[in-house]
Amino acid sequence: MMDKSRSEIIPGVWLDYRRAVFLEKESTLCIADLHLGYAWAHRFHGQMMPVHALDRLTERMLELCGFYQPRTFAVLGDIVHKAVPVAEVEREFTEVVTRLGEKCGLKLILGNHDKGLKKLDCSRQVEFCDSWEAGRFLLLHGNESRKSKGDSIVVMGHEHPTISLGDGVKSGRFPCFLISEEVIILPAFSDWAAGSNVRWYDFMSPLAKSARFEKAVAILGQKLLPVSLQKP
Partner 1 sequence: MPLLNPSPVTEWFSRKFAEPTPAQVEAWPRIEAGKNVLIISPTGTGKTFAAFLSVLNQLAIEEADGALKPGIHAIYISPLRALSYDLEKNLAEPLREIYGGTSPIRVGLRSGDTSSYARQQQFLSPPHILLTTPESLSILLSQTRWLPALSTVRWIIVDEVHSLAENKRGSHLTVSLERLELLAACGVQRIGLSATVAPVDQVAKFLVGAARNCEILDVSAAKKIDMRVYSPLSRNPYPPSGYTGERLIKELARLVGENRTTLIFSNTRSGAEAATYWLHSALPELSGQIECHHASLDRDVRQDVEDRLKRGELRAVVCSTSLELGIDIGSVDLVVMLSTPKGVSKALQRTGRAGHNIKSISRGLLMATNMNDLVECAATVLLARSRQLDEIRIPQAPLDVLAQHLASMGCIRAWKKTEALELVRRTYPYRNLSEADFEAVLEYLAGGGKSLKQQYTETFGKINLEEDSFETRQGRVQRDLLQNIGVIPNEGMVAVKLKGRTIGSVEEIFVRGLQIGDVFIIAGRPVRLERTGMMECFVARAYNAVPTVPRWNANKMPLTNKVAEAIVTFRSELRERFEKFGSECEQQVDWIGKRLDCGRTNADIICRMYAAQAEVSEIPTADFLLVEELLDQPEETTRELQATAVPEERKRKTKKAPQFPRGQRHYFFHSLVGRAANEALSRAIALRLSRLRGGNAIATPDDYGFVLTVRPEQVFTEKELPELLKAEGFAEDLHTALSRSDLLKYHFRNAAQTGMMVYRNFFGEQKSVRKLQWSSEVIFNVLQQYEPDHVLLREARRDAVHTYIDLENALNFLEKLKGKSIRLKRIERVPPLSFALFATKIKEALLVEDPREMTERLYHLWWSKLE
Q: Which of 163, 193, 198, 208 binds partner 1 (CB under 8 A)?
A: 193
Query: What is the strand order of the sheet 28-31 is part of?
Result: 6-10, 13-16, 20-23, 28-31, 72-76, 105-109
- Does the protein bind partner 1 through residue 230 (CB under 8 A)? no
Residue 15 · residue 6 · CB < 8 Å:
yes
The verdict on 9 binding partner 1 (CB under 8 A) reads no
| Contact residue for partner 1 among 1, 3, 11, 46 (CB under 8 A) | 46
- In sequence order, the 6+-apart residues with CB closer than 8 A to the CB of 155 are 21, 23, 30, 76, 137, 138, 139, 140, 183, 184, 186
The 23-42 site mask, x for binding partner 1 (CB under 8 A), equals -----------------x-x
Asked whether position 144 contacts partner 1 by CB under 8 A, the answer is no
Of 10, 25, 51, 85, the one binding partner 1 (CB under 8 A) is 51
Does residue 189 belong to the site contacting partner 1 (CB under 8 A)? no
133 touches 152 (CB < 8 A): yes
- Return the number of the residue (125 or 169) whose C-beta is nearest partner 1: 169
Task: Using alpha carbons, select from 229, 142, 228 the residue that is nearest to residue 182.
Answer: 142
Of the residues 82, 89, 97, 216, which one makes contact with partner 1 according to CB under 8 A: 82
Nearer to partner 1, 126 or 165 (CB): 165
- Binding-site member from 27, 72, 94, 196 for partner 1 (CB under 8 A): 196
85-91 contacts, C-beta under 8 A, 24 or more apart: 85/120, 85/121, 86/37, 86/40, 86/41, 86/43, 86/44, 88/37, 88/40, 88/51, 89/36, 89/37, 89/40, 89/41, 89/120, 90/120, 90/121, 90/122, 91/122
Indicate whether 45 belongs to the interface with partner 1 (CB under 8 A).
yes
Subset of residues 150 to 179 that bind partner 1, contact rule: CB under 8 A: 160, 165-170, 172, 174
What residue ranges bind partner 1 (CB under 8 A)? 40, 42-52, 54, 82, 86-88, 160, 165-170, 172, 174, 191-194, 196, 200, 202, 204, 220-221, 223, 225-227, 232
